[in-house]
Amino acid sequence: MNKMLQITLAAAALTQLTAGGAEVGLWEVFETSFETSKQYANAYTDVEVNVAFEQGEKRWTMPAFWAGGGKWTVRFAPPVEGEYKYRVECSDKANSDLAGKEQTFRAVGYSGGNPLMKHGFLRVSADKRHLEHADGTPFFWLGDTWWKGLAKRLTWEGFQELTADRQAKGFSVVQIVCGRYPDEAGFQPGWENEGGKPYTTKDFAQINLSYFEYADRRIKHLVDAGIVPAIVGGWGRPDCNSLEAGVDGIKRHWRNLVARYGAYPTVWIIGGESAGPQWTGIARYVQQIDPYGRPATIHPGDSARKSVTDESVINFDMLQTGHGEWDAARGAIPKLKAAYARTPPMPVMIGEYCYEGHMQTAFQDVQRYVFWGSMLSGAAGLTYGAAGVWHLSVEGDPGITPIYDWTTWKEGMNFPGSTQLGLGKKLLEQYPWARFEPHPEWAEAGAFCAGIPGEVRFIYQPRRGVYNWSGVVVKNLEREVPYRAFYFNPVNAKKYDLGTFVSAGQAPKPFEGHAQPLLFADRFDDTGSSAWKDYGTLTQRKEGHLVGGKGMVTILEKISETNLMASVEARSDAEAGIILRFHDFDHYLVALYTPKLKAIYIHDRKNGAWGEPIGQVAVPEIGPKIRLTAAACGEYAAMVLTDGKKTYSTPAVKVANLTSGKAGLWLFQIGERQEYGNFELSQTSFTPTKLDTAGQVHRVASDEFKASGVPSPQDWVLVLEREKP
């Protein structure tokens, strides 16, 4: 063994304990060795050594690995506190050196900060939908793909740098091959780590211990960083088929892996792109020799469940959905949904899809789509991949043939998709995400929805095109449940508050119309009237209507009051708005109806900025001819919309514009033209009967509403969480 590596492993060692009453923390690694003077022609293949651990009535039999010469080493992580007895067992019954007397150690509570030790090994949850720790804490699988992460072209320093980057971004799993690599024939130079190749013969009968000693350091480093190693035992594709070593050779290989890494919080991926009865038998063998029964699957060409002839040898389903651009991304989620629907249930996740930047495709927007589409369709997690990283490319050596990408691992490490998926995981972990179930009926077609009825809803709306700010349509809202809503930007994690939405039936009207004598009325039948002044596009009077186009702001100049009520007739195929308290083009209130959002609300325009919609109420249905009434009284404003049969009204909301101003009519940009008729203006003294002090409660008349327009034309996550009393 390399002397420097010996020093490094000793300094940052596994919990190295000697026999006889030592203590070890719960889930930490207890390591001890046994030696014999008996000589074997090939100790790696000629003899098997196990160590039986007992605590009360519980028993775990752990395979030991050959450590050179006459030495075998065992690693064991105690899963319960208390006194343990252990003894060595050998397949060579004549070897008395390896049939030792009983020894002991004691397991005490874990006192460190590593979540993998604090919460314990992984297992499948009771509902068979996700993974969790031994103490029941849900485990969010956000994996990264480092298939060739043990290759020496990724230096030890580089491995540490990449680990730190993924740890900081929130990755919890690394899929890493300890065996034949994908896209490589066996025994090529690229298979080497600092200690050489793992085996020197094709049947895996002659092991190179130096390779595994260097691999130990990397696997342990991932665990120390709180990242679960998902160890792949080799590849099964014809061009890189591990079965060239024979089934017995692969089983020996897996016995060595379980012995070396089975005491770590690992996950087993039996083979990559592997299928059929031989790989099923290998999976069953791993299941038999792993005393912890940890989660195991196969990285498939399609689905792990389809890759085995007996589903009992795996306990979660991993998918590979194909590489490419948007067609591959959009095709991934239906495959996931189909896997989720299979019975009996299993946790399911996509373990390989469009790598970010792979052959210059599938960049950050594709990554967000597959992440959110997966997590809101029932996935237990997702494994990301990036060009340069999956094959651990360095300048001059991409580590693959044929060459897909010259991207280096450092370039791939910094692709933005990895950061953005980590932001999504961080948001979901603020909620009981493991209890989420898919609810596609909660939103319009094309969106992805999941959550807990009556508690929280997540809706992912993919980008719908350039210049499309349409809000997300929410459906099947529970009656009388107040949901605080916000848009989450999956690019940078910024939140945009939308207020509170309540499906409470039609809100009581804030007023009944003009209760005081009219100050002014206009039927727009006088073509020579000079009472109005255009501040935007020009208007014209035509056949008893005031007609205006986009950018219309026309003001009644002769009356300026603080408390005013105005009403007007309009068409519902274009925006229609009543202006109150107009001071100048950049400062006024406008109460408006928009057919694009199918909603009414109030804007308090200040310094030329619109601000957030206030008091928004959905208008799911309305006739072609409408009448708007809007009023401002003191610090409150409200509006009512009717077509004579259906009536909608905003709550009375607080506004910042409190000084006297003029009234007017408005059309911003939705609809080619508006035709106003029968304008009336009076003073008002309406008193609000119900007020949301924040001015942000939106009463929904039915179980469906359209949220405010998205802040920009991209993909967004709409979150609705039940507002606490």
- Same domain for 576 and 614, yes or no, is yes
For residue 610, the model assigns a pLDDT of: 86
- Per the omega criterion (within 30 degrees of 0), is the bond before 402 cis? yes
Q: Is residue 227 part of a domain?
A: yes
- Same domain for 46 and 159, yes or no, is no
CA distances from 84 to 21, 74, 81, 108 (A): 9, 15, 9, 11
Where does a domain end: 74, 108, 142? 108
> Whole-angstrom Cα distance, residue 18 to residue 681?
92
- Same domain for 444 and 426, yes or no, is no
- Same domain for 464 and 592, yes or no, is no
Q: Is residue 7 part of a domain?
A: no
Q: Return the bridge partners of 104, or none.
A: 85
Which distant-in-sequence residues (6+ apart) come within 8 Å of 116 by Cβ?
A: 27, 133, 223, 226, 228, 265
- Same domain for 445 and 572, yes or no, is no
- Same domain for 541 and 403, yes or no, is no
Q: Where are the alpha helices (DSSP H) in 273-363?
A: 277-289, 304-307, 326-341
> Whole-angstrom Cα distance, residue 314 to residue 261?
18
Number of folded domains that form the chain: 4
For residue 413, the model assigns a pLDDT of: 98
> Whole-angstrom Cα distance, residue 115 to residue 224?
10
What token pair was written down for 658? 């409190």
In the DSSP assignment, the letter for residue 100 is P
- Same domain for 628 and 527, yes or no, is yes
Q: Where are the alpha helices (DSSP H) in 381-487?
A: 409-413, 416-428
Q: What is the mean pLDDT of each run of 10 residues along the chain (725 residues)?
A: 42 42 92 96 97 96 98 98 96 93 94 95 98 98 98 97 98 97 90 97 97 98 98 94 96 98 98 97 98 97 97 98 96 98 98 96 97 98 98 93 92 98 98 98 96 97 91 91 95 94 77 92 83 93 93 95 97 97 96 93 93 85 96 94 92 92 95 95 81 56 83 96 89
- Same domain for 270 and 335, yes or no, is yes
> What φ, ψ does residue 128 adopt, rounded to 5°?
60, 30
Count the alpha carbons within 13 Å of 709 in the hemisphere toward its beta carbon: 19
For residue 507, the model assigns a pLDDT of: 62
Distance from the Cα of residue 586 to its chain's centroid = 41
Where does a domain end: 65, 90, 108? 108
Nearest alpha carbon to residue 373 among 432, 419, 313, 331 = 331
- For β-strands 448-452 and 456-461, DSSP reports them as antiparallel
Q: Where are the alpha helices (DSSP H) in 262-303?
A: 277-289
Q: Is residue 374 part of a domain?
A: yes
Q: Is residue 424 part of a domain?
A: yes
Q: For residue 165, what is the domain's CATH number?
A: 3.20.20.80
- Same domain for 445 and 428, yes or no, is no
- Same domain for 627 and 669, yes or no, is yes
Q: Is residue 9 part of a domain?
A: no
Domain region containing 36: 14-108
SS3 577: strand
Q: For residue 645, what is the domain's CATH number?
A: 2.60.120.560
For residue 21, the model assigns a pLDDT of: 63
Q: Catalogue the long-range contacts made by 128-135 (C-beta closer than 8 Å, 24 or more residues apart).
A: 128/344, 128/345, 128/346, 128/347, 129/345, 129/347, 129/378, 129/380, 129/434, 130/347, 130/380, 130/381, 130/434, 131/295, 131/316, 131/347, 131/380, 131/381, 132/434, 134/27, 134/79
Q: Which regions of 48-193 does DSSP assign to beta strands (E)?
A: 49-55, 58-63, 65-66, 71-76, 82-90, 103-108, 122-124, 131-133, 138-139, 141-146, 173-177
Q: Is residue 1 part of a domain?
A: no
For residue 6, the model assigns a pLDDT of: 45
For residue 1, the model assigns a pLDDT of: 44
Specify whether the CB–CB gap between 40 and 47 falls below 8 A.
yes
What token pair was written down for 685? 């003294």
- Same domain for 169 and 98, yes or no, is no
Nearest alpha carbon to residue 396 among 379, 409, 386 = 409
> Whole-angstrom Cα distance, residue 211 to residue 118?
30
- Same domain for 489 and 554, yes or no, is no
Q: Is residue 620 part of a domain?
A: yes
Nearest alpha carbon to residue 235 among 180, 304, 307 = 180
Where does a domain end: 460, 482, 505? 505
Instruction: Report the chain's terminal Cα–Cα distance, integer Å.
Output: 64
Q: What is the pTM of this model?
A: 0.80
Q: For residue 95, what is the domain's CATH number?
A: 2.60.40.10
Q: Is residue 707 part of a domain?
A: no
Residue linked to tokens 């009356």: 559
% helix / strand / coil in the chain, to the nearest 5? 20, 35, 45
